[in-house]
């Protein structure tokens, strides 16, 4: 494992891990100043492409956006979601994971858990591919949202999944939409960091979709804290720009490109 991954692992039980999503250089450059992990999430399906789910995001989509994000990342661990259908079996998973790492120079890939695909994680790790796991609500495989870990049996099954992912060699695992009881139990009983989304403060770290927390996605479930209403700020700027153009107040002479000076 590289030094960035070892640094993430070392934070367990010591300091909270901060993660957000990015799909472009401009956003990644800002996040890189503060985040431990930047995730190029398949949530781009909803955020950028107005799709109802994440199922149609392709390898090309993931790679293209990661290439942009990589340009803005210097210190953060760059993790990339493997899209649905790209890791159906060990050989396919290895081929696609290698392609993502080779093309983008990212640090790791993330796989959503489904049935026994922790065996795929094990195979990838054996082939020197760093992997982050993902349990609970897994959008690639579960159509209907349901809070998980609401019974002792559910919690035990989730714990078993997390342990299997840990034993397979993953360096961390995302816990999505788990009860606080389940999140706490799993976090306390596995050695790798847990990154929560809608899974309480008991996790070792937190991740959100950046567009959600900035207030520009239109998707604001209970577990998202909206830190800005950026949609209003953008609208105000566009409104002022429109007014200036129509009243011939923009561009003014100071914006004219005369001579050779561009900036």
Answer yes or no: 148 catalytic.
no
Q: Which residues lie closer than 8 Å to 59 by C-beta, 6 or more apart?
A: 83, 86, 96, 99, 100
> How many CA atoms lie within 13 Å of 152's alpha carbon, on the beta-carbon side?
0
Record the tokens describing residue 1, joined without a space. 């494992």
Q: Among 195, 190, 170, which residue's Cα sits nearest to residue 17?
A: 195
Backbone angles phi and psi of 216, in degrees to 5: -125, 5
Grouping H, G, I as helix, E, B as strand and the rest as coil, residue 4 is helix
The single residue of 148, 161, 176, 235 carrying the catalytic annotation is: 176
**Bond preceding residue 222 cis, omega within 30 of 0:** no
Using alpha carbons only, what angle is made at residue 36 by residues 35 and 37, rounded to the nearest 5 degrees? 90
Taking CA atoms, 2 is separated from 9, 175, 179, 224, in Å, by: 11, 23, 32, 31
* CA 183 – CA 198 distance, rounded (Å): 10
Which are the catalytic amino acids?
Answer: 176
């Amino acid at each position: 494992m590289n030094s960035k991954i070892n640094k993430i692992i070392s934070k367990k039980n010591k300091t909270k891990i901060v993660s957000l999503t990015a799909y472009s250089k401009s956003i990644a450059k800002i996040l890189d100043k503060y985040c431990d992990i930047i995730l190029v999430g398949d949530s781009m399906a909803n955020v950028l492409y107005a799709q109802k789910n994440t199922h149609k995001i392709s390898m090309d989509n993931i790679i293209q956006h990661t290439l942009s994000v990589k340009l803005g990342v210097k210190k953060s661990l760059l993790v990339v979601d493997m899209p649905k259908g790209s890791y159906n079996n060990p050989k396919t998973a290895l081929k696609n994971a290698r392609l993502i790492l080779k093309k983008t120079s990212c640090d790791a890939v993330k796989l959503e858990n489904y049935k026994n695909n922790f065996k795929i994680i094990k195979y990838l790790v054996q082939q020197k591919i760093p992997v982050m796991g993902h349990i609970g609500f897994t959008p690639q495989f579960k159509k209907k949202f349901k809070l998980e870990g609401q019974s002792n049996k559910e919690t035990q099954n989730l714990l078993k999944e997390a342990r299997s992912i840990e034993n397979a060699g993953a360096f961390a695992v995302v816990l999505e939409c788990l009860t606080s009881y389940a999140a706490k139990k799993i976090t306390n009983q596995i050695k790798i960091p847990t990154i929560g989304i809608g899974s309480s403060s008991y996790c070792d770290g937190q991740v959100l979709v950046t567009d959600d927390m900035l207030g520009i996605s239109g998707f604001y479930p209970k577990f998202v804290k909206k830190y800005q209403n950026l949609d209003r700020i953008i609208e105000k700027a566009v409104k002022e720009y429109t007014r200036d153009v129509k009243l011939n107040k923009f561009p003014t002479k100071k914006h004219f490109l005369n001579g050779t000076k561009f900036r």
